[in-house]
Structure 1
Amino acid sequence: MAKRFNEESPIGDVLKQFIQENKLQSGIDKIDVRDAWKNLMGNGVNNYTTEILLKGTTLYVALSSAVLREELSYGKEKIIKMINEELRKDVVTDLIFR
């Protein structure tokens, strides 16, 4: 049976418990990674981004420009670090450009 909170429980604690009990964290991480990519990469890269998909800890990014894909592949580790810093936790461990 679910634990009942008293009237003084902060809404943040109630939401954390709800997310944990219903196993929603992976879905929230997928949305957060998409938002982080859009915020960090800016309009120039976002115009060529066709798909952003998080499977486990691997981020798949589909780009419509082969030149941009090659250029970004040189900075994979930096991009992973920036995304994880934006999310304040290690969600992405590998980055694959398509």
Structure 2
Amino acid sequence: MSNRRNNEFLSIKDVMAHVLQENKLQKGIDLVLIKEAWASVMGSGVVSYTNDVQFKNGVLYVTLTSSVLREELSYGKEKIVKLLNEKLNKMLIKSVKLL
């Protein structure tokens, strides 16, 4: 009987993953983490021109209020994806669309 009890113990990580999956919360948590990563990686200068950040199907959609900044960032989209994924510690973002 005590063997059976030991086998029933799950790690907190496993339990949280199950709860997130069952309640379809992971997408919302990912978006919060992505927004935090965007602010951290891009800095306050870029964040002050950021109007909205959305994430869907591996694509990060960032709405900027400055067309000049949008043009400037467009040249480094691959690097932005790499930096954000490094910050998130997982390959979540496949591409960035600057709007």
Judge same fold: TM > 0.5, yes or no.
Answer: yes
Q: TM-score under structure 2 normalisation?
A: 0.84
- Give 1:7 shift: 8.8
Aligned partner of residue 28 in structure 2, secondary structure: helix
Aligned partner of residue 67 in structure 1, secondary structure: helix
Equivalenced residues, count: 94
- Give 1:23 shift: 2.6
CA deviations on 1:44-73 (whole Å, 9 max, x unpaired) are 001100010101111110111111101100
User: Counterpart of 1:59?
Assistant: 60
Aligned partner of residue 63 in structure 2, secondary structure: strand
- Give 1:25 shift: 1.5
- Give 1:40 shift: 0.7
User: Counterpart of 1:25?
Assistant: 26
Backbone CA RMSD of aligned residues = 1.9
Among all aligned residue pairs of Structure 1 and Structure 2, give the percentage whose two residues are the same amino acid.
Answer: 49
User: Counterpart of 2:3?
Assistant: none
User: Counterpart of 1:90?
Assistant: 91
User: Which AA in structure 1 matches 2:31?
Assistant: K
User: Counterpart of 1:69?
Assistant: 70
User: Which AA in structure 1 matches 2:43?
Assistant: G
Q: TM-score under structure 1 normalisation?
A: 0.85
- Give 1:6 shift: 8.1
User: Which AA in structure 2 matches 1:75?
Assistant: G
Moved over 6 A (4+): none
Alpha-carbon distance in 1 for matches of 2:13, 2:96:
31
Alpha-carbon distance in 2 for matches of 1:44, 1:23:
33
Aligned partner of residue 91 in structure 2, secondary structure: coil
Aligned partner of residue 68 in structure 1, secondary structure: helix
User: Which AA in structure 2 matches 1:74?
Assistant: Y
- Give 1:9 shift: 4.3
